[in-house]
Amino acid sequence: MHLRLQIALLVGTFCSVQSFVIKTSNKSSADNAGDLVKDEDFSVSSLLERANINVGKGRSDPLVMFGDIAVDPELKNADPCTARGCLWPRATDGKVYVPFRISNQYSARERNTIMQALASFASSTCIRFIPLDRQRDFVNIQSRSGCFSFVGRRGRAQVVSLSRQGCVFNSVIQHELLHALGFNHEQQRSDRDSNVRILLENVEPGQESNFRKIQTINLGTPYDYNSVMHYGRFAFSRNRQPTILPIPDNNAVIGRATQMSTQDISRINLLYRCSECR
């Protein structure tokens, strides 16, 4: 059980590595940087950054650290898994049933987007998000002050905040649900320094914690630039310069996922010991 707890506490998330060659042009480097910034306007990290300007400031909001991870104020460590086991339990049929409740704050269209993201896990993993039916522990999806989630199963009604103002996108919903299943950000993995370089000199003051490395257990899976848990290269930039630079290929695409990658799916199945995808 101790190893499972460590994995759920520390695992980083997700891998199909893609690369591209920047086309040559007569534009200045500043112009090219501007174009790249625009290209990442809809990356997960850009969506989170814009939506989370006021995150954690609501009267009923939990403490939010590392961009979008909710923590109990009384805990000194950022991850509630340090205080309790945080895997959602497997049923006798081998599936993992995660009850959920969706607030009536959402429009019909927004609710449908959320439902589609919840259902996406069932097509390739043993995770089944099911409507709440008197279960004690469940995911309580609400529109609060931004996009955030606890890491792993916290117990009872644990909030996953998907603000109507900028969080109801498939990539963001999957991102926050992966936190709730026990996964951290990809660029915080223990092996990240062999795959990306963090340029703290370009990070907005006060946002450095988004790039803190964690001693993760990575389930034997490779680092994944295409994970829906990976931030974009300009995440929390103060000067329109990169904050995350892939290495050794500085031109590799990072943080552009619009849905879970192959490795995101693989790691869910490894972590929860899924014997089948459906």
Residues 13 and 246 sit within 8 Å (Cβ to Cβ): no
Task: Give counts: helices (H), strands (E), the chain.
Answer: 6, 9
Helical H segments across the chain, by residue range: 2-10, 29-39, 44-51, 108-120, 170-181, 262-271
Active site residue 176: yes
Bind-site residues for Zn(2+): 175, 179, 185
Which DSSP helix (H) or strand (E) runs through 70? strand 69-71
Which DSSP helix (H) or strand (E) runs through 183? none
Residue 172: C-alpha distances to residues 25, 131, 146, 215 (Å): 33, 20, 11, 24
| Nearest C-alpha neighbor of 130 from the set 171, 168, 93 | 93
Bind-site residues: 175, 179, 185
| Nearest C-alpha neighbor of 253 from the set 46, 43, 67 | 43
CA R_g for the chain: 18
Catalytic residue among 49, 74, 110, 176: 176
- By annotation, the residues acting in catalysis are 176
